[in-house]
Structure 1
Amino acid sequence: MSAAVIEAFYDAFSKRDAEGMVKHYADDVRFSDPVFQDLKGDDAKNMWRMLCERGKDLEVVASDVTENSAHWDATYTFALTRRKVLNRIDAKFTFEGDKIKTHTDAFDLYAWTRMAFGVTGVLLGWTGFFQSTLRKKALAGLVAFERENRHDRA
């Protein structure tokens, strides 16, 4: 059953259907990845809403789905630099009933910064300062999205 939920989650994501994705999340879900390190509840749901809304050329392909994991590739244009990115992600899940309770995405942040920022990413993307700044800006973008769309922060 869990594998079916994960497949439905990524099927909705491939259609940029955020509501179809977040309906599979528990109300108190926890999400983490190398950029958004600890989102809870509505913040996690709103991150997907933001990515689906803003990812005009986003393509998502999931594979290797199991009862508690999946691999997925996301291809999109990074808006800030207009550079094409292919992000290869391994996801792990825990469940509470038929709802996703925790969702952890793992990917190589330095590889991502090289694609997204080009030479700047090659030279600085590995540094703690650059990655910390990236995380702060991403979270600020989520907060702005939530304000613009009147989504409550958890």
Structure 2
Amino acid sequence: MHTPTDTLTRFYTAFAALDADAMGSCYSLTATFDDPVFSLQGQHDIAGMWHMLCAAASGQGRQDWRLDFSQLQADAHTGRAHWEAHYRFSVSQRLVHNIVEADFTFTPEGLIASHRDAFDFWRWSRQALGLGGWMLGWAPFFQRQVSQQASANLARYLAKNR
């Protein structure tokens, strides 16, 4: 059994090292994950997302990858963290600096029960997608399109790798 603070430290330390196995082990079997792109239920799908994203970051060259995390706060039930990822987006090869605020709930065993990441999608899309993201990244239909494409990519990844 781990405290929620231990879980968050273990999660973000693993994330910085692109260790998706260790990240996935921080979630309960029935965990949920939400951010502007993904909405997932269950440890299997959440861990699969982290595997896919970590593989993409590793594949672009670790020289472009950096994760900084701070402001970890947790009690027995809830937690928060601030994190910033610097990476090369695999689709466009553009450098991205994503700034994220995360909120968590925990199981009695100290595992993540729910995880919600919030970031400025338009800011992210301008960096990751260039002119198209600048022109359309603010629009809800564009965010849905990106989310649908990411979900399809995850489904293909899970079918191939699990």
Same fold (TM over 0.5): yes
How many angstroms apart in 1 are the aligned matches of 2:71 and 2:95? 24
Distance 2:119 2:29 in 1: 25
Q: Percent identity?
A: 38
**1:31 counterpart residue number:** 33
**CA deviation profile, 1:20-76 (whole Å, cap 9, x unmatched):** 11111000110000000x201111111011111111233211111010010000111
Residue in structure 1 matched with residue 135 of structure 2 by the alignment? 123
**Structure 1 runs of 4+ with >6 Å offset:** none
Q: How many residues align?
A: 149
The alignment's TM-score, normalised by the length of structure 1, stands at 0.93
Aligned to 2:110: 98
Q: Distance in 2 between matches of 1:22 and 1:80?
A: 24
What TM-score does the superposition give when structure 2 sets the normalisation length? Answer: 0.89
For 1:3, the equivalent position in structure 2 comes to: 5
User: Is the aligned partner of 1:14 residue 2:21?
Assistant: no
Q: Report whether the alignment pairs 1:86 with 2:97.
A: yes
How far, CA to CA, are the matches of 2:24 and 2:82 in structure 1? 18
Partner of 1:108: 120
The alignment's C-alpha RMSD in Å is 0.9
